[in-house]
Structure 1
Amino acid sequence: MKELHVKSLLPVRLDKYLMEQFPALNLGRLNKALRENKIKLNGKKQPLSTRVQNGDIIRLFLRDDQLENRPLPLAVFVYEDDDMIVANKPAGIEVDGPSADTLLKRVQAKLASEGKATQAVLCHRLDTGTSGLILLAKNSRAEQFLTSAIKARSIEKRYLCVTFGRPQPPAALMHDYLLKDADRGIVKIVNSPAGGAKEVITGYETLAVSGRLALLEVELVTGRTHQIRAHLAHIGCPILGDSKYGNNAANRELHFKYQALCAWELRFPAQIEDEPFAHLAGRVFHAEKPWYCRQLTDGTLQ
């Protein structure tokens, strides 16, 4: 946390004052910080257009690396060829957007560091708090192939997660419907397609249990917004660390800032007729298993 005591003879906008103090900040980052309640003026959340004046106190609940022009971390590539990239996204960064640090910017920084002029394009997304594998295309041909394969569900996606609660039965293929609540920025699971709800299919298998917790491997059959998080919460087993659909008391107790959810596996179909991508047939890519998998398996986390 940074505390600033404003020293200005004339009133100045809050956003302008902060960008003068911290050149690494931009309007995108400031708006995001304000939405997340990380900027306080005299102890209160105020619009960025508010005029600050001599003697005001500003508190910024941002990390040092968010306030400084530090070199952007380079993305970790699990796989790369002339057409595509499989990158491993850490929890806590967006895949894309106005923030100075996103997965896409890390990918471009890595390509630039290797002297490659290619501009990568995202073919799907992960929530900010979810870690794991992301597919990116280096050209329009690969973008069309990958996005079509994802839409057709021929690329299988499997996740690892820790739930607060042990699902019963220990393994199942869940069929329900998902309804978006755009005003609240959430989704909910319902048992019929009424109101425009869309079909969701989520499979899970319990790999290990520890106290109140369970480690699951989840297959994302359909790919809806917040599907895994909402579907597991619907059966009474929310993902640990999920502040939107989960148990916040448990999240605080076990010190989970982001949801314990990792896009662990991408599996390409056994046969691919599109010749330029035939070499991907049967290929399976994995992210490194998150630390919480080991801790749950050995009983450290429970």
Structure 2
Amino acid sequence: MTGADPGGSVRQFEVSADDDGIRLDRWFKRHLPQIGFATVSRWARTGQIRVDGRRVAADDRLAKGQIVRVPPGGAPATPRAAVSLGPEERELAAAMVIRATPSALVLNKPPGLATQGGTGTKRHVDRLLDAFAEGEAPRPRLVHRLDKDTSGVLLVARTPGSAAYFAKKFASRSARKVYWALVVGVPDVPEGTIDAPLAKQPGTGGEKMHVDESGGQPARTRYRVVDRAGKRAAWLELEPLTGRTHQLRVHCAALGHPIVGDGKYGGADAFLTGAISRKMHLHARRLVIGAPGGERIDVVADLPDHFAASMEQLGFDPGASDAAPSDFSPPPRSPEDQKRAARAHAKTYRKARRGERRGRGRQAGHRERRR
């Protein structure tokens, strides 16, 4: 990779295997760090960056072999100034740490705390990382993210070298993650893989995803029902095999069983009556990832209070599952059982898609009447 072109000409780069699946903005940070994030965002917004000749967004993911067209110039990245944290923020930062190694800090992110800042978001994990940059210690760096309302394991790199190492691990899908989720109702098929391509839903400004069989990016999630509370709710283990935005939330909703508390994708049907919290019940329970020097990080994050209370209310025993990803493969089944499971899964999925289309039709009719 080259830096800024003194000749001021358009540059083209081929995406390598090591960068397969990386976000465009992170690709720039890795290979053209002298170009600031604001410039990358503006170039993408105005169509000056092209991937295989097409316009892209700053958070779109790249694939091996694609050609990235980069315009000449670009404002240098502005060094980030350290922020002054109050005692409460420093206490929160310290309380989140569940494992510290020479290469990483592993945090248990609470629900409601954003990973990064944005418009109107002043309190976030990235800001709190200044608490760990004392003296000569470099400031830790984010290498992956969790949604604001998702809790659980979040790894941050302690050095620039380990940040590059972990970023490659996540981009190559060699980091294994297990999530716990409470969902409304109980899937007909107790275990399987949801294979449903995802794309940004038109008209939402990229803030919402949906299943798009023809134009979506590949997205696969392995799931298993750990326990059930009658027909009211189920406790699932989820293992994302790809890393699309909101993947687990959209896939559970597409299965016909939205995550409890996820009104964005489940609407009013995502909430249970009684004493069950209205907060989202999605938790990054376990992370297994290789680290520099042959180290292996394997961590489990405790449940947040609202999730633990709902588990107790529904009669679920957390000790019933503490599966590492390597233990997460379903047991062998006979060909007949596999065929029955596939037919039931397909039926459930088609039913969910019909319901989704009917819901969109009702919304369109409602908008038309309002006009």
- RMSD, aligned α-carbons: 2.4
Alignment of 1:285 with 2:304, yes or no, is no
Distance 2:177 2:303 in 1: 15
How far the C-alpha of 1:264 sits from its partner, in A, is: 0.7
Per-residue Cα deviation, 1:3-37 (whole angstroms, up to 9, x for no partner): xxxxxxxxxxxxxxxxxxxxxxxxxxxxxxxxxxx
Distance 1:173 1:209 in 2: 19
Q: What's 1:16 paired with?
A: none
Q: What's 2:311 paired with?
A: 296
Q: How does 1:135-214 map to 2 (within 5 A)?
A: 135-181=155-201, 183-184=203-204, 185-190=207-212, 192=213, 194-195=214-215, 197-211=216-230, 212-214=232-234
Structure 2 counterpart of 1:258, from 269, 279, 282: 279
How far the C-alpha of 1:279 sits from its partner, in A, is: 1.6
Alignment of 1:235 with 2:252, yes or no, is no
Q: Which structure has greater strand proportion? A: 1
**8 Å CA contact 1:229, 1:245 repeated in 2:** yes
Q: 1:116 to 1:170 in 2, by over 3 A?
A: farther
Structure 2 counterpart of 1:74, from 92, 108, 111: 92
How far the C-alpha of 1:107 sits from its partner, in A, is: 3.2
Gaps in structure 2 of 5+ consecutive residues? 1-85, 317-371
Q: How does 1:14-163 map to 2 (within 5 A)?
A: 71-72=88-89, 73-75=91-93, 76-98=96-118, 99-109=121-131, 111=132, 117-163=137-183
Q: 1:243 to 1:217 in 2, by over 3 A?
A: same
Identical amino acids, percent of aligned pairs: 29
One-letter amino acid matched to 1:174? I
How far the C-alpha of 1:295 sits from its partner, in A, is: 4.0
One-letter amino acid matched to 2:225? T
Distance 2:312 2:237 in 1: 13
How far the C-alpha of 1:299 sits from its partner, in A, is: 3.0
One-letter amino acid matched to 1:288? D
Per-residue Cα deviation, 1:213-271 (whole angstroms, up to 9, x for no partner): 101110011010000000010010000000201242552735534310001110125xx
**8 Å CA contact 1:164, 1:247 repeated in 2:** no
Runs of 4+ in structure 1 deviating by more than 6 angstroms, as ranges, are none
User: TM-score, length-normalised on structure 1?
Assistant: 0.67
Gaps in structure 1 of 5+ consecutive residues? 1-68
Distance 1:182 1:140 in 2: 37
One-letter amino acid matched to 2:224? E
One-letter amino acid matched to 2:301? A
Determine helix, strand or coil for the equivalent of 1:144.
helix
Determine helix, strand or coil for the equivalent of 2:138.
coil
Determine helix, strand or coil for the equivalent of 2:168.
helix
Determine helix, strand or coil for the equivalent of 1:88.
strand
Distance 1:165 1:149 in 2: 35
**8 Å CA contact 1:96, 1:104 repeated in 2:** yes
Distance 1:258 1:298 in 2: 15
How far the C-alpha of 1:183 sits from its partner, in A, is: 3.2
How far the C-alpha of 1:178 sits from its partner, in A, is: 0.6
Determine helix, strand or coil for the equivalent of 1:100.
coil
Determine helix, strand or coil for the equivalent of 2:155.
strand
Q: 1:116 to 1:244 in 2, by over 3 A?
A: farther
Aligned residues: 221
Q: Which structure has greater helix proportion? A: 2
